[in-house]
Chains A and B, each alone.
Chain A
């Protein structure tokens, strides 16, 4: 019996991984953002996203350049600083069949774009929203961002005196329906999280810690490779993959594993019990805060509310994308028009 099988090295819609690649990166060698891009390519390929149905949205900054580096065939929109959520909202309203993927940074999300981020989350716009979070402004040479931890220092020694904005905690407070944190180099954790985000109907916020190798990768920074490797507390997915070389781990739920990385640093991986309830927002907030008090970044799927209705559903929008509608569906008919005019007579 002949069974049609997909061509070799293709995903379930018959496309090669090559299709999911983009232009060559222009970011610094070793930048965490490049690792995220690679993981996005894997996730989009695995998920079998139709390239022409993908809308790649971004704001301004190093992070926001990255949509040029994957799925060349898809439409991309690199808008203005901090305003990607509004562009993404409009795009989704116009064509609800699009898979909207927003790539932002910590400055783009937590400083200049905090307002739009908040309102996108509370509207539960159906999109995947990735924050490539390095706690600093790369493009303008390394100033603090609002996600920099209090007490962390810049290369020149300035200390951040201000409270950090925790994107995940904030999102949960705003009624987010999917909130996760991960690490740029942790493909084994990040790829399944991304795929879950694509599948989620609503705003899926992924705060991905992504060390800036140029401006924030030094001992005073709490978002350096070394710091994150030592303080990362992982939920669910237990491996750590720096951009330069893969480190694989395999261990059971409820256990802790000490992993030695290439540079000799160590990471404690704590896989939560399998019965960790990601649907309890109070619990998620507690986990985030307790981690922060210990100086640890808790990673994994922190909170999910799978059955919430998204913006298009709340607006009772037609199932058929608005963009496909023509004069017949959008204009009042002649009889209705004449009757309407009579009401002004």
Chain B
């Protein structure tokens, strides 16, 4: 590739900085400024489990197609961490650019003939040009936004507009930051000569009317619009921002302006166990309640999850997955909790698990989770991950909910009068779902005893063999009914023999991978599974294909194992595992490469026979 051929709107910028140096604001401003130029962006924050001092990277991917998955390529490196200087330079794509602190040595391995270097005296500029002592550290990072603006042609107005968003509550900070941006911009304009091939140019029709939202923000809004009134949580990365966002939306929209009274309660519990206990206490009493956590918290919740399943209590549990097992990598992403969440608890259990694959679905599924939890009187797990939850995603504005809450089978005091011997756990409708009453229902027949110990249809303690089995069978029947209610898989088919099956945040990598495969002459169909237990359409789709590439972000192929458990035997051999599990979000090549390798002979033979 010639160094002269321009690369427009198709590049990845990587800012390599030190955690705690305040680069987050700069990176968000950079992202939004590019977005404001109508160019699709996909930012990825690859950060350490640390408050200050460890290396952190922020990638802003830009592509005309609007690809939102991570790219393996780094085109433009902003090097502001001497500790990772060598490896950061090594990671830049051939033909790429390095903007670096002028003091860093460009020699030996960091002196690459295939890269363009721009040395900028960031520290000196900050010392000389930025008067606000306390803010110097933070504003230094704004200087590189200015250098990038000069280098790539990012519009000053777009940066200003992004700064106004970033500092909505501190308008005075907009000017200070803009000055720092201009320090970088002006230095570059006066001292550097552009010799690289990269540029950003305004686009139309790609970002108009769209928004940038973190998955955890979308989940929090779903919980709020889904009517959650009680939330209990224990802080844990990467889920903390879900509850924190819920709190801030509630503070804004659920506080009576005249009395200061809150129409919600959020408790920071002593641990995740107590958090889920509070949720079940609240749903038992009739409220909609949720908790949000990540893997280690889910482990603690196993005890209560079984109670919720067996005593039949609603709950919504957001699991923003990170790398496990154990503490794992708290700030890195994985889809490793699927199997665990699905059957969380001792004994025979089966939970509803929703698998959102975008910010829009984080919102929609969050709302739907409360309906499903009430309808089926059982815990519902919403499994997202760090990538989906904590990164910004382009999305359509979230639609206003048109449907009322579905509170499921709850008998009021009046309704109870019309029912003879209602029986808390009786299957009156043949769908396995019993009717319940809430504490506080003024009817002498309303009361019953909820317990996690053996019980009969009237909620009385029982150890009788036939009762034991009957109750377990009825709950199993209920969970069969679930299959018709969970989100159906999303399918994109055009009669190909091979297909990709994926879920959650892998979706964006599949989108790009299918384009890459198409370019290589291989067409594959696609099904995105959106819930457990599997919808009937899942098996039907697999039946229509010869080879199913099951893409997932975990080591053991957990989704594939679940499919193996539930599919008819003749379909199992069609499943081929494609796995990615190094903690960083999956990229398209992680799918394209193995699929291409397997499909190429098939593609060749299809062409021959045609």
Binding site for B on A (CB under 8 A): 23, 26, 50-53, 55, 57, 67-68, 71-80, 83, 85-95, 97-98, 115-116, 118-119, 123, 312, 315-319, 321-323, 325-327, 329-332, 334, 336-338, 340-341, 343-345
Bound complex: CA A52 to CA B405 (Å): 25
Contacting residues, chain A, for B448 (C-beta < 8 A)? 75-76
Q: Is the CB of A74 within 8 A of B447?
A: yes
Bound complex: CA A316 to CA B441 (Å): 25
A-B contact pairs, 9 of them (CB 8 A): A52-B441, A52-B443, A73-B447, A75-B440, A87-B281, A91-B281, A95-B286, A331-B225, A344-B397
Contacting residues, chain B, for A53 (C-beta < 8 A)? 439-440
Given that A87-B281, A322-B263, A330-B227 are contacting pairs, would A94 and B256 also be in contact in the complex, using a CB cutoff of 8 Å?
no
Q: Is B1 an interface residue (CB 8 A)?
A: no
Q: Is the CB of A336 within 8 A of B264?
A: no
Given that A78-B449, A315-B262, A318-B262 are contacting pairs, would A90 and B304 also be in contact in the complex, using a CB cutoff of 8 Å?
no
Q: Is B544 an interface residue (CB 8 A)?
A: no
Among A92, A315, A337, the residue within 8 A (CB) of B400 is: A337
Among B249, B273, B437, the residue within 8 A (CB) of A83 is: B273
Contacting residues, chain A, for B256 (C-beta < 8 A)? 318
Q: Is the CB of A52 within 8 A of B280?
A: no
Bound complex: CA A315 to CA B264 (Å): 9
Q: Is the CB of A75 within 8 A of B439?
A: yes
Binding site for A on B (CB under 8 A): 165, 168, 209-213, 217, 221, 224-225, 227, 229-230, 232, 249, 253-254, 256, 260-265, 267, 269-271, 273-287, 289, 303-304, 307, 397-398, 400-401, 404-405, 437-444, 446-453, 460-461
Given that A87-B284, A323-B438, A344-B211 are contacting pairs, would A78 and B450 also be in contact in the complex, using a CB cutoff of 8 Å?
yes
Bound complex: CA A86 to CA B285 (Å): 13
Among A76, A90, A331, the residue within 8 A (CB) of B285 is: A90
Given that A94-B287, A323-B287 are contacting pairs, would A75 and B230 also be in contact in the complex, using a CB cutoff of 8 Å?
no
Q: Is the CB of A76 within 8 A of B287?
A: no
CB closest chain-B residue, reference A72? B447
Among B254, B279, B398, B446, the residue within 8 A (CB) of A330 is: B254
- Given contact pairs A73-B444, A330-B224, A332-B253, a sample of 8 additional A-B residue pairs in the complex whose CB atoms are under 8 Å apart: A75-B440, A76-B449, A79-B452, A89-B278, A91-B282, A91-B439, A317-B265, A330-B263
Bound complex: CA A85 to CA B270 (Å): 11
Q: Is the CB of B230 within 8 A of A119?
A: no
CB closest chain-A residue, reference B315? A90
A35 to chain B, nearest CB (A): 21
Q: Which 3 A-B pairs have the closest CB atoms?
A: A90-B281, A86-B277, A94-B287
Contacting residues, chain A, for B270 (C-beta < 8 A)? 115-116, 118-119
B473 to chain A, nearest CB (A): 23
- Number of A-B contacts defined by CB within 8 Å: 220
Q: Is the CB of A83 within 8 A of B438?
A: no
Bound complex: CA A329 to CA B253 (Å): 9
Q: Is the CB of B274 within 8 A of A325?
A: no
Contacting residues, chain B, for A51 (C-beta < 8 A)? 444, 447
Among B211, B230, B437, B442, the residue within 8 A (CB) of A341 is: B211
CB closest chain-A residue, reference B403? A327
Bound complex: CA A326 to CA B253 (Å): 14
Bound complex: CA A343 to CA B273 (Å): 35
Contacting residues, chain B, for A322 (C-beta < 8 A)? 229-230, 263-265, 287
Among A94, A118, A319, A343, the residue within 8 A (CB) of B282 is: A94
Q: Is the CB of B269 within 8 A of A86?
A: yes
CB closest chain-A residue, reference B217? A344
Contacting residues, chain A, for B439 (C-beta < 8 A)? 52-53, 55, 74-75, 91, 95, 98
Question: Which of B249, B446, B448, B449 is most buried by chain A, counting CB atoms within 10 A of its CB?
Answer: B449
Bound complex: CA A284 to CA B225 (Å): 48
Bound complex: CA A73 to CA B212 (Å): 52
Q: Is the CB of B285 within 8 A of A98?
A: yes
Q: Is the CB of B281 within 8 A of A88?
A: yes
Bound complex: CA A50 to CA B413 (Å): 15
Contacting residues, chain A, for B227 (C-beta < 8 A)? 325-327, 330-331
Bound complex: CA A337 to CA B222 (Å): 12
Q: Is the CB of A83 within 8 A of B304?
A: yes
CB closest chain-A residue, reference B253? A332
Contacting residues, chain A, for B280 (C-beta < 8 A)? 79, 87, 90
Bound complex: CA A337 to CA B262 (Å): 19
A72 to chain B, nearest CB (A): 7
A253 to chain B, nearest CB (A): 40
Q: Is the CB of A316 within 8 A of B212?
A: no
CB closest chain-A residue, reference B256? A318
Q: Is the CB of A94 within 8 A of B289?
A: yes
Q: Is the CB of A93 within 8 A of B230?
A: yes
Q: Is the CB of A86 within 8 A of B286?
A: no
Bound complex: CA A325 to CA B264 (Å): 10
Among B225, B267, B451, the residue within 8 A (CB) of A78 is: B451
Contacting residues, chain B, for A330 (C-beta < 8 A)? 224, 227, 229, 254, 263
Bound complex: CA A87 to CA B441 (Å): 19
Bound complex: CA A15 to CA B401 (Å): 46
CB closest chain-B residue, reference A87? B281
Contacting residues, chain B, for A52 (C-beta < 8 A)? 439-444, 446-447
A84 to chain B, nearest CB (A): 8
Q: Is the CB of A345 within 8 A of B285?
A: no
Contacting residues, chain A, for B401 (C-beta < 8 A)? 331
B41 to chain A, nearest CB (A): 13
Contacting residues, chain A, for B262 (C-beta < 8 A)? 315-318
Q: Is the CB of A87 within 8 A of B278?
A: yes
Bound complex: CA A307 to CA B284 (Å): 29
Bound complex: CA A55 to CA B284 (Å): 10
Contacting residues, chain A, for B282 (C-beta < 8 A)? 90-91, 93-94
Q: Is the CB of B440 within 8 A of A78?
A: no
Q: Is the CB of B398 within 8 A of A87?
A: no
Contacting residues, chain A, for B440 (C-beta < 8 A)? 52-53, 75, 95, 97-98, 321, 323
Bound complex: CA A185 to CA B148 (Å): 80
Question: Which of A86, A321, A331, A334 is most buried by chain B, counting CB atoms within 10 A of its CB?
Answer: A86
Among B265, B267, B447, B452, the residue within 8 A (CB) of A80 is: B452
Bound complex: CA A137 to CA B437 (Å): 33
Contacting residues, chain B, for A317 (C-beta < 8 A)? 261-262, 265
Q: Is the CB of B277 within 8 A of A79?
A: yes
A334 to chain B, nearest CB (A): 6
Contacting residues, chain B, for A26 (C-beta < 8 A)? 461
CB closest chain-B residue, reference A118? B270
Bound complex: CA A307 to CA B444 (Å): 34
Bound complex: CA A344 to CA B225 (Å): 17
Contacting residues, chain A, for B274 (C-beta < 8 A)? 83, 85-86, 89, 115-116, 119
Contacting residues, chain A, for B261 (C-beta < 8 A)? 316-319
Given that A318-B256, A344-B212 are contacting pairs, would A94 and B229 also be in contact in the complex, using a CB cutoff of 8 Å?
yes
Contacting residues, chain B, for A325 (C-beta < 8 A)? 227, 229, 263
Question: Which of B210, B270, B398, B461 is most buried by chain A, counting CB atoms within 10 A of its CB?
Answer: B270
Contacting residues, chain B, for A77 (C-beta < 8 A)? 281, 284, 449-451
Bound complex: CA A316 to CA B405 (Å): 25
Q: Is the CB of A115 within 8 A of B232?
A: no
Bound complex: CA A144 to CA B213 (Å): 54
B262 to chain A, nearest CB (A): 5
